[in-house]
Amino acid sequence: MKYSFKNDYSELCHPELLDALLKASNEQNTGYGLDKHSDAAKELIKEKLECNHCDIHFVTGGTQANASVISHILRPYEAVLSCSTGHINVHETGAIEATGHKVYTVPGVDGKLTPSDIETALKYHQDEHMVKIGLVYISQSTEIGTVYSADELKALYDFCKVNQLYLYIDGARLSSGLAASDVEFNQLKDLCDVMYIGGTKIGMLSGEAIVIFNDRLKPYFRYHIKNKGAMLAKGYVVGIQFEAAFKDDLYFKMGKHENELSSYLSNELKKLGVSLLSESSTNQIFPIFSKEQVEQLQKLYAFEIWEPVEEDKIAIRFVTSWATSKEVCIELIEDIKALID
C-alpha cells in the first residue's frame, strides 16, 4: 500500500490516547459529556489557558463544531465573514448555509483576513436589504498552512470589538498552528470570543473542544448542541482523549513533531529547486510539479491534488501527522530527487 501524505487523520489514534481509552473501557461513566473524564479534561484545558471563566463543550468533528457555534451566535438575518479559502466556504458542503446563514467571503492574503478586509465587507453591507455581518471566522492554522501572529490576531479582535462583531477561531489544526506561530495557548483567551481546539487532526479518534470566552455566548449552548445533533451520548470517549492529551502536554508535542517533519520536507524540496505554492510553516505544504511528475509520484504516494498552476503545472498537498516518521520523509525526498533527475 502507498504511504499517504493525504491528510493528518489517516492513522487511528496516538498510542497514549488509545491506552487511556482502553484503561477506561470497563468503566461506567455518565453520558453526554457530564462524566469525570470530561470534567478533568476541561480543568486541564482551563489550567493551560490560565482561564477559569471559559465554558468548554466537547463535540466529535470540526464541521459539527463550526455549524453549532456559528448558528448559535448569529441572528437569522446575520452572516459570517470568511476568507475565500476558509474551510466553512470550501470544504463543508454548505453546512453553514444549511443553518440559514450566508458565508460572505473576501479574498484575504495568504489565507488570512485583515482588519481592512473586514472593513471593506462592512462598508458593502450597508442596510437592511442585505445580510448583516455578525461574525468573523478565521482558522489557525489556515487552509493553506499559514498562521496568524499574536499581533495580527490582536488587531483583528480589536477591530471586531470596536465594530460589535464576534471573532471565532477554527482550531482544527491548532496544535500545528501554535507550534508554528508566536501565539501562546494562554493568550487565546484575550484574542477571540470563541474557538475550538481540534483533536481529530492531531492524533485523536475524533473530537473537538469548543471553548467559549465571551459571557454573552455561554447561556443555553448545551441546548443548541443537542438541537443540532452534536451531543454525543458517550461523550466521555472524547473527554478521555482530551484528558490524556493535555495531561503531559502531548497535545502540543504532537504539533511540534509534525511541523518539524513538514519543515524538513519544505527545506529539502527547496534545495531540489521545487517551488511551493505558499510559505507554510505548519504541517501542510504545497509543492508544485509538472503534470507528468505528479502522475509518476501518484504511483508511489497518496496525496491531494490542490490546484492547477500555470498551464502544465499542479500544486499538490503533503500533510505530515503525529505518526509520520523522519524515515518516510527521507524516502519521499529521495523518490522526488530521482523523479526530477
For residue 302, give the CATH number of its domain.
3.90.1150.10
**Bond prior to 25 in cis (omega within 30° of 0):** no
pLDDT tens, per residue, the chain with 341 residues: 789 999 999 999 999 999 999 999 999 999 999 999 999 999 999 999 999 999 999 999 999 999 999 999 999 999 999 999 999 999 999 999 999 999 999 999 999 999 999 999 999 998 999 999 999 999 999 999 999 999 999 999 999 999 999 999 999 999 999 999 999 999 999 999 999 999 999 999 999 999 999 999 999 999 999 999 999 999 999 999 999 999 999 999 999 999 999 999 999 999 999 999 988 999 999 999 999 999 999 999 999 999 999 888 999 999 999 999 999 999 999 999 999 87
For residue 175, give the CATH number of its domain.
3.40.640.10
Cα–Cα distance list, 39 to 64, 211, 334 (Å): 21, 14, 47
Same domain, 289 and 140: no
- Residue where one domain finishes, among candidates 248, 274, 294: 248
Nearest to 10 by CA among 281, 241, 318, 337: 318
In this prediction the pTM is: 0.96
Nearest to 252 by CA among 48, 90, 37, 110: 48
- Residue where one domain finishes, among candidates 218, 248, 278: 248
Same domain, 151 and 217: yes
- Domain assignment of residue 264, given as a range: 3-9+251-340
Same domain, 125 and 229: yes
Q: How far is CA 11 from the centre of its chain?
A: 17
Look at residue 310 in the predicted model and tell me its pLDDT. Answer: 83
C-alpha cell at 178: 501554535
Cα(144)–Cα(147) distance, rounded to whole angstroms?
9
Same domain, 190 and 274: no
Cα(287)–Cα(272) distance, rounded to whole angstroms?
11
Same domain, 235 and 255: no
C-alpha cell at 269: 524540496
SS3 label, residue 100? coil
- Residue where one domain finishes, among candidates 248, 269, 298: 248
Structural domain tally of the chain?
Answer: 2
Same domain, 188 and 237: yes
Same domain, 43 and 100: yes
Look at residue 1 in the predicted model and tell me its pLDDT. Answer: 72
Contacts 24+ apart (CB under 8 A), 96-102: 96/66, 96/67, 96/70, 96/71, 98/67, 99/67, 99/70, 99/71, 99/228, 100/71, 100/76, 101/70, 101/71, 101/74, 102/131
Same domain, 61 and 174: yes
